């Protein structure tokens, strides 16, 4: 499912226009992104948790030249599904 299809399903489910559903989805994504950028997590009980994880710098190998390279550390987003979501997907 892509974003356009998700907006369509949301608008049907809650009985609003596709424009309003699109604004809601965009706002939700913006709030989650801003929260993650600030270093906090977003916990939706039953659905899951959006959080950030720090990856340490590490050594790797360039597959084309076979020479060792340094891969810098960085912060990446992570999603951990909640128990209810895991049960529904089974």
pLDDT tens across 10-43, in order?
999 999 999 999 999 999 999 999 999 999 999 9
Q: Which of 49, 47, 44 is nearest to 77 (CA)?
A: 49
Rounded CA-CA distance 43/50 in Å is: 6
What range defines the domain where residue 76 resides?
3-89
Express each pLDDT in 48-88 by its tens digit.
999 999 999 999 999 999 999 999 999 999 999 999 999 99
DSSP secondary-structure letter at 17?
-
CB-CB contact of 7 with 27 (8 Å) = no
Q: What is the CATH number of the domain that holds 21?
A: 4.10.520.10
7/24 Cα distance (integer angstroms): 9
pTM of the model: 0.81
Q: Please give the pLDDT value at position 54.
A: 96
Q: How many domains does the chain have?
A: 1
């Amino acid at each position: 499912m892509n974003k356009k299809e998700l907006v369509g399903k949301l608008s049907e489910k809650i009985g609003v226009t596709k424009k309003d559903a699109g604004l809601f989805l965009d706002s939700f994504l913006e709030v989650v992104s801003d929260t993650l950028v600030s270093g906090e997590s977003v916990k939706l009980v039953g659905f899951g948790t959006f959080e950030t994880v720090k990856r340490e710098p590490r050594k790797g190998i360039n597959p084309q030249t076979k020479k060792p390279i340094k891969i810098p550390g960085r912060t990446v987003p992570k999603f951990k599904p909640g128990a209810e979501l895991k049960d529904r997907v089974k």
